[in-house]
Amino acid sequence: MLGRFDIFYGIDLGTSNTVIYQQGRGIVLREPSVVAIRQDTGEIVAVGTEAQAMIGRTPESLEIVYPLTNGVIANFDMTSQMLQLFIRKIEGRRRWLRGSQVYISVPCGITSVQKRAVEETMVHKGAKKAVAVEEPLAAALGAGMPVDEPIGSLVLDIGGGTSQVAVLSLGGIVVSHTVRRAGMSIDKDIIEYVKKTYSLAIGDRTAEEIKMRIGSAVELPEELSIDIRGRDLIDGLPRAVRITSGEIRGLFDDFLSVIFEAIRYTLEHCPPELAGDVVERGMLLCGGGALLHGLDRRIQAETGVPVHIAAEPLDCTALGAGMMLDYRRERRMGTGLPGYRESAAAVEREDERLRQEA
């Protein structure tokens, strides 16, 4: 059934970015989860990086759609078409997904019906096997955490649409908590700030650039600045201003307090032994938000829990999904806590059987 020539994919279907890992090749695709469609026909004109470049520059006939918003699949059809186009990009002329096995990390907020629908879409399109996996589990595995052991591990994933805190143990999620404050909400705050302070309208991409270039959660030894352009709200003409890291630092406070509260909530709701493990061993910080300057130090100072940034914060979820293929752990993973009751021996027998078949 499972052939030697099968292709194994680990996919991270994120609200901001889609990342695809292919076994033996590494990360083969990293593109924004966005599509540009023609309004009259609904036809997709561009996906990913190409579509992103059109943001804020579209003629009226084109519309930019984020098929995954707020950590849920807002538009299922669009999501599956987007995935299809991404896979076509990496597979070239080969038939879509033929002979492949796909482990796909889906946003935490999606329903089990949607989760099944994602799996079915993959199989319908030619995959031999498709398994939807829990995002924090994939992220932790990809970052090299000991998710299989009876030790509590805390993962804080700050993405585009949502931030998620989860405590894992024995290959399952013990508690998790998701908030709708993440990268994109910070961008919105920056847009508001520039509007109020400078009477200047800027787009999402400019706001994101400000955040990535000069945003910081702690004071910097030397303040940074960036020159940006926007449209004057009074005379309607383009105008440039210089923004400094110091003046926008306060904008992160509200977001940060939501994150601190989410960490506190999660620790309060997990068994004390596991919370003890976390306090001792620290938490894993991943997702694009982990790259915000000084965020690790600020969280550590506020919560007293040591913070480790994942080596590849933007890729670890796809890597982890890809690793699940290897370990063939799906029977224990993705099903939450009861999974660990399956003995390790049974999993080994299954692995042996698959080896024999290969």
Ligand X SMILES: Nc1ncnc2c1ncn2[C@@H]1O[C@H](COP(=O)(O)OP(=O)(O)O)[C@@H](O)[C@H]1O
Which residue ranges make up the annotated binding site for ATP? 160-162, 208-211, 288-291
Per rule CB under 6 A, is residue 142 in the interface with ligand X? no
H helices within the chain, ranges in order? 48-52, 76-91, 112-124, 135-142, 183-198, 204-214, 245-249, 252-268, 272-281, 295-303, 316-327, 344-357
Per rule CB under 6 A, is residue 171 in the interface with ligand X? no
- What sign for the dihedral angle of Cα 297, 303, 304, 308? negative
- Give the 3-state secondary structure of residue 18: strand
Contact with Mg ion (CB under 5 A): which of 8, 11, 14, 155?
Answer: 14
Q: Which stretch binds ligand X (CB under 6 A): 81-89, 156-164, 245-253, 340-348?
A: 156-164
Per rule CB under 6 A, is residue 118 in the interface with ligand X? no
Residue among 52 and 245 whose Cβ is closer to Mg ion: 52
Please report how close the Cβ of residue 187 comes to ligand X at its closest, in angstroms: 7
Site string (242-281) toward ligand X, x via CB under 6 A: ----------------------------------------
Contact with Mg ion (CB under 5 A): which of 32, 48, 71, 159?
Answer: 159
Per rule CB under 5 A, is residue 161 in the interface with Mg ion? no
Residue among 230 and 288 whose Cβ is closer to Mg ion: 288
Q: Which residues fall within 8 angstroms of residue 39, CB to CB, at 6 or more apart?
A: 60, 61, 62, 63
Q: Which residues fall within 8 angstroms of residue 199, CB to CB, at 6 or more apart?
A: 232, 233, 234
Residue among 7 and 323 whose Cβ is closer to ligand X: 323
Q: Quick one: how far is CA 143 from the chain centroid?
A: 13
DSSP assignment of 266-288, as one string?
HHHTS-HHHHHHHHHH-EEEESG
C-alpha closest to that of 69 among 34, 29, 111: 34
Residue among 159 and 320 whose Cβ is closer to Mg ion: 159
Binding site partner of 15, from ligand X, Mg ion, none, Cβ cut-off 5-8 A by kind: ligand X
Q: Which stretch binds Mg ion (CB under 5 A): 11-19, 269-277, 324-332, 346-354?
A: 11-19
Q: Are 168 and 138 in contact (CB under 8 A)?
A: no
Binders of Mg ion: how many residues, by CB under 5 A?
2
User: Which residues, numbered 17-76, are part of the site for ligand X (CB under 6 A)?
Assistant: 17
Using CB atoms within 10 Å of the CB of residue 139, give its burial: 0 to 12 exposed, 13 to 18 middle, 19+ buried.
Answer: buried
Per rule CB under 6 A, is residue 289 in the interface with ligand X? yes
Which residue type sits at 192?
E
In degrees, to the nearest 5, what angle opens at C-alpha 313 toward C-alphas 155 and 298?
Answer: 65
Where along the sequence are the contacts to Mg ion (CB under 5 A)? 14, 159
Where along the sequence are the contacts to ligand X (CB under 6 A)? 14-17, 159-161, 183-184, 208, 211-212, 215, 287-289, 291-292, 314
